[in-house]
Amino acid sequence: MILGNQIETTVSELGTTHVIWLPDTTLGQWEEALERSVSFDLLRVCREGEAWPLAAGLFLGGKSPLVMMQSTGLFESGDALRNVLFDLKLPLFALIGYRSYLVEDSADTAKKFVEPILDAWGIGYELINGCDDLPKLVDHYRACQVAGKPGVGLIAEGAM
C-alpha cells in the first residue's frame, strides 16, 4: 500500500506543478497529502474527460501536470486522451488506479480491459504494486520525458 505522503514525495520529485485528479477509493486516501503539498496544486475535475485537455493547457503554458484517475476514468476519457496524446502529441503522464488488480480471478471488466487498452493506444506503462515500486515509477516517468512520449503508472488496487 502506498501512503499519501509517499506519493506526494514521489510526485514532487518528478517536478510536477499540478495534479489533476478524480479519485477512487484507493487514490482518494492520498487526498490530504496531495492537497497539503507545497510543490504542486491539486485540481479537481468533474469528469475524467476534462483532465486531459486541462493538463494540455497547463503543458502549453509551460507547466508539468500529472493526471490521476481510476481505470474506469481512463475508459471514460478515451477520446480526450486520444486527442491530447496523439493529435497534440503531448508527453503527458498519468497515474491510473488499476481496479481489482489485487483480486485474484476477479471478473471485474475494469480489470480485464486496462492493459489491452493501454497496449492498443501504444502507451507505455509500469505496474506499481506498493511503495517498493515507486523508484520504478520515477524511472518510467523520466524515460517517457526523455523520449518525449506519454506514459502511465498503473497503481495496483483491490476491489472497488
Per the CB < 8 A criterion, the answer to whether 32 and 4 are in contact is: yes
Between 9 and 48, how does the x/- string for binding to other proteins read (CB under 8 A)? Answer: ---------x----------------------x-xxxxx-
Among 21, 30, 40, 59, contact with other proteins (rule: CB under 8 A)? 59
Cα–Cα distance measured from residue 154 to residue 133, given in angstroms and rounded to the nearest whole number: 11
Per the CB < 8 A criterion, the answer to whether 129 and 156 are in contact is: yes
- Determine if 56 is a binding residue for other proteins (CB under 8 A): yes
Q: With respect to other proteins, which residue has the nearer C-beta, 55 or 137?
A: 55
DSSP for 39-70, written as a single string: SSEEEE-SSHHHHHHHHHHHHHTT--EEEEEE
Cα–Cα distance measured from residue 126 to residue 116, given in angstroms and rounded to the nearest whole number: 14
- Determine if 58 is a binding residue for other proteins (CB under 8 A): yes
Identify any residues that bridge with 128 across adjacent strands, giving them in sequence order.
Answer: 155
Among 25, 32, 35, 57, contact with other proteins (rule: CB under 8 A)? 57
Interaction residues for other proteins, span 67-126 (CB under 8 A):
79-80, 82-84, 87-90
Site residues for other proteins per CB under 8 A: 18, 41, 43-47, 49-63, 65, 79-80, 82-84, 87-90
